[in-house]
Amino acid sequence: MYIPTIKGARISHKAIWNVINSERKYFQLNSNDVCALTYPLHTIQSANQIYSAILTGCTITVFRRQDLAEMENFIKCPPVNKLTKLILMYHDFDNFLTSIEPLGKKETKKTLKSLKLVICEGALLPRHAVNNAKRLFKTKEQMSALHMRNFTGLAD
């Protein structure tokens, strides 16, 4: 009988708490913020999204996998213009940037006016994605308020 080997690293409750608490303090998340749940509930990545929202009193907006598969429709969803925190996998982030590019700077600013934290997870961002992000979010108000981070995993 084949028994698969469990892969991955154990992450303690304290480590998860440290990530959530430091994120809350550094990015000043509070009860006025709206966080996106973009990961399936059974994954460790969803723990950060759920618990950071609960501990800060944020509203959680749940997106289905197919919402992210059709990024052009995702950016037109009514809750997107209220999001303050968005965490996406690196390939979804690239699709997100490609989808908002045709909107232009003025429409992008209006659509994503509340966004103050974008985290890309899963792999290092390609240079073209970083350049696209800089170009699209280059308004003074948005760039000064918007934090963009890249993590290659929850343990980072």
What's the pLDDT at 144? 54
Q: Average of pLDDT values for 112-122?
A: 77
Sequence-separated contacts (24+) of 147-150 with Cβ below 8 Å: 147/27, 147/116, 147/117, 147/118, 148/118, 148/119, 148/120, 149/117, 149/118, 149/119, 149/120, 150/90, 150/119, 150/120, 150/121, 150/124, 150/125
Q: How confident is the model at residue 152 (pLDDT cuts 50, 70, 90)?
A: low
Residues 71-96: tens digit of each pLDDT: 888 887 777 878 888 888 877 888 88
Angle at 92 between CA 39 and CA 8, to 5 degrees: 50
Element (H, E) at 8: none
Q: Is the pLDDT reported for residue 141 higher than 70?
A: no
Q: What is the pLDDT of residue 155?
A: 46
- Kindly report the pTM of this predicted structure: 0.70
| Domains along the sequence of the chain with CATH | 20-151 (3.40.50.980)
Residue 17 · residue 11 · CB < 8 Å: no
Query: What's the rounded Cα separation, in Å, for the pair 50 and 35?
Result: 9
Segment 37-53 mean pLDDT: 77
Amino acid at 25: K
The pLDDT of residue 145 is 57
List of residues 6+ apart from 143 with CB closer than 8 A: 137
Question: What is the average pLDDT across 22-45?
Answer: 79
